[in-house]
Chain A
Amino acid sequence: MTNATIASAWTTAVDDAPIAVATAADLVAIAGADGTAWILEAATGVPVGTVTLPGGLLAAAFSPDASHLALAGPSGHALWRRSDGHVVAEQTGAWSGAVRWAGPDRVAVASGRRALVLSTDGTQLWATDPAPSTVTDLAWLRDGRRLASSAYGGVRCHERHTDKPVTEYRYLGSHLAIALAPTGRWICTGNQDASIHIWRTRDGDDLTMQGYPDKIARLAFDDTGQWLASDGAPDITVWDFSGKGPAGTEPRSLRTHETVTALAWRPGGDAVLASAGAEGTVAFWRAGSGRAGALVRPAYERELTDAVVALAWSGPGLLVLADYQGRVEAWPLPDGLAR
Chain B
Amino acid sequence: MTATTVTTTDTTDTTDTAVDTRVPVTVLTGFLGSGKTTLLNRILTEQHGLRIAVIENEFGEVGIDDALVLDAEEEIFEMNNGCICCTVRGDLIRILGALMRRREKFDQILIETTGLADPAPVAQTFFMDDEIASQLRLDAIVTLVDAAHILDHLNEVKPEGVENEAVEQIAFADKIVLNKTDLVTEEHLTEVTARIRAINTPVEIIRAQQAKVPLDKILDVHAFDLDRVLEGDPTFLTETEHQHDTTVTSVGIDLPGDLDQDRLNTWLGHLLRTKGADLFRSKGILAIAGSGRQYVFQGVHMLLEGENGRPWRDGEARRNRLVFIGRNLDRATLNEGFANCLAEVSA
What is A's interface to B at a CB cutoff of 8 Å? Answer: 16-17, 19, 33-34, 56, 58, 74, 93, 95, 97, 133-134, 152, 171-174, 192-193, 208, 213-215, 217, 309, 324, 326
Contact = CB atoms under 8 A, between A and B. Distances in A.
B101 A19 contact: yes
A133 B80 contact: no
B90 A152 contact: yes
Contacts of B131: 214-215, 217
Interface stretch (B4-12, B70-78, B176-184): B70-78
Contacts of B86: 193
The 9 closest A-B pairs by CB, nearest first: A17-B103, A174-B77, A193-B79, A172-B80, A33-B102, A214-B130, A133-B75, A173-B80, A33-B101
A34 B98 CA distance: 10
B10 to A, nearest CB: 26
B130 A213 contact: yes
A172 B98 contact: no
B130 A74 contact: no
Given A33-B103, A152-B90, A193 B98 contact: no
A134 B79 contact: no
A173 B79 contact: yes
A134 B101 contact: no
B80 A215 contact: no
B221 interface: no
Contact of A215 (B98, B103, B129): B129
Contacts of B77: 133, 152, 173-174, 192
Interface string B287-329: 0000000000000000000000000000000000000000000
B225 interface: no
A215 B102 CA distance: 21
- Residue in B75, B88, B91, B101 with the greatest tally of chain A CB atoms within 10 Å: B101
A34 B103 CA distance: 8
Contacts of B79: 172-174, 192-193
Given A56-B98, A193-B79, 11 more contacts: A17-B102, A19-B101, A33-B102, A33-B103, A133-B75, A152-B75, A172-B80, A174-B79, A192-B90, A213-B130, A217-B131
B80 A309 contact: no
A17 B75 contact: no
B84 to A, nearest CB: 13
Contacts of A214: 130-131
Contact of B91 (A93, A134, A172): A134
B188 interface: no
Interface in B61-110: 70-71, 75, 77-81, 86, 88, 90-91, 93-95, 98, 101-104
Contacts of B91: 134
A208 B79 CA distance: 13
A34 B104 CA distance: 9
A130 to B, nearest CB: 12
Contacts of A192: 77, 79, 88, 90, 93, 129
27 contacts: A16-B103, A17-B101, A17-B103, A34-B103, A56-B102, A58-B98, A74-B98, A93-B71, A97-B94, A133-B75, A133-B77, A134-B91, A152-B75, A152-B90, A172-B79, A173-B77, A173-B79, A173-B80, A174-B77, A174-B79, A192-B77, A192-B90, A193-B80, A193-B86, A208-B80, A213-B130, A326-B103
Interface in B195-209: none
A193 B90 CA distance: 12
Nearest to B95: A74
A174 B129 CA distance: 12
Contacts of A213: 130
A171 B130 CA distance: 22
B39 to A, nearest CB: 25
A309 B90 contact: no
- Residue in B86, B93, B94, B129 with the greatest tally of chain A CB atoms within 10 Å: B94
Contact of A134 (B81, B88, B94): B94
A208 B88 CA distance: 20
